[in-house]
Structure 1
Amino acid sequence: MTERNYFLDFNYLSGNERAFGLVKLYQAGRLFCSPSTIIGTHLHGDCFELTIVTDGEGAVVTNDQRLSVRKGDIYFSFPGDFHDVVTSKVNPLKYDFFAFNTDDPELKADLAEVMSTLSLGTRIFRDDRIASLVSQAIAELSAEDEYSERVLSCIFLQTVYYIVRDLKRHAVAARADDVSSDEQLCYRVMNYIDTHVYSMTGLSELGSVFSYNYSYLSTTFHSTTGRTLNDYYRSRKLEVARLLLQEGKLSSSQIAEKLNFSSLYAFSKSFKSKFGSSPQAYKRAHREQSQRRKPE
């Protein structure tokens, strides 16, 4: 990220998330972009995130799909998303952000339902109450006292309930009548793969998840999208691997295990086939390129 005018970040990522009642906080903060601010594509781990535009305009890019946003818009990101925020140079973005998850079974089920029904094109919504609550949370995090944990627990739980209620309604209202049942099924399959890329052990589990014969799913996916299920699944795993290598926190063998490749050799072979270099060489080249970009 470069040349931001104002940046406030309460960061509890990398396994350090804070529990506030039923809600786990991963990150919250505020960013005022300059015309030259670059956020950069990053991988969402095991958390959801709100991007709440408080001023300006720009775009949110998720899994290579770009959607314009402006003041008042709220964008909802899923676990496993490839995510970027791009600011307008003329009217730079100002936005708050809130990344969270939960271990509560009922809330997890509600959020899973939202993920299964909401398409990329319908993830933008508006709710001044949510914008106000997240702004209050940021202020509370900036000056914590003996009451803050209870106050924040209430704020975060209310925020998540508003998100679930808004997006359930939004998904129903936005569902297009001209989308075929096969297209809806393929979207649900792609969304499942995107959001379960770490936990899936193979494509065969899709049959039980969607209550269809796997052969039928495979044929329908290919005839509707022009791609095979295996190609889509493999491509998503390798894109995730690429970003994990860019982060530089995990070794190639750890990434291969995390993404359920059969072996380090199988991972390296697939990665080189897609990106033209081995994982180790890619990681080294990215690190050297990043070091050259650092100001002296």
Structure 2
Amino acid sequence: MESETNGEKAVVLDVRPLSGVVFEPGRIMGKARCEPGWSWHVHAMPDYDFWHVLAGTGSMTVNGSRYPIAPGCCFTLRPGDRIDVEQHPDDRLTVIYCHFRKAVEDAGGEAGRFSPPRRRVEVHDGARFEALMGRLLELRDMPPLWSEVEFDYTVKLLLLELYRSERESHPAGRASARHRELVRRASDSLRQGAWAEADLEAAAAEAGVSQRYLSQLFKRHTGRTLKSYAAGLRMERARLLLAESDMPVTQIAETLGYADLYSFSKLFKAYSGTSPSGYRKRSPAATPLD
């Protein structure tokens, strides 16, 4: 399935869009603030290139199609692309760039296939994207042990970020991204032990929505309501304490905020299929921490 955007066909990806492909470093990578009067002209790109803009403005023409350059956008250039870039004379560009190519995986010369993102994508999580680009630059100066593997994985993480940003570039996608961020922040609070009803109300208030609406977002993005998600986290914490500590069961129930041992044991059995004491007996002995 394809859709047309700015003269380019955006491919709707499979569930595992990068399986069977391995990436390796291309000819050059770096970070630079472009000099006054700088421009860039390439008759035919020799490999792929992430060209991520940190600051400045200008325009890039790829194979005759013109794109605006602005902070936060990333160009994924492809082998054979004809490139012409001009920066605004009063707003110099700062960019991170990294050339890469698909590795030949077997003796027959077969390399995995992948569908590149659109040539220009506005990156939604700029800090994460910049950190990943910076990691590629660090790998250039590292000893070879595992650096090739990490380079491949990091390029794939960057591509996944671009695929997500593509999908979130439409109004519905932008709303979904905002909702997912609300769920992420609330779930982070829950993982730190904010399980009580008052905590759920506080998490919703901090997100600027009602508890009911936040619960609907949780259901949409996690498959569970807010209360069910919090209860699951609390039960997972109980299982960990039973397996890896010598705290009495009564103390665990009290610590996790249950009204009494009976309530805790009943809920734990419904969740785990066994009583807390039975779960502890079947678990490996706890190893004391140094």
TM-score (norm 2): 0.43
TM-score (norm 1): 0.42
More helix per residue: 1
Q: Highest CA radius of gyration, 1 or 2?
A: 2
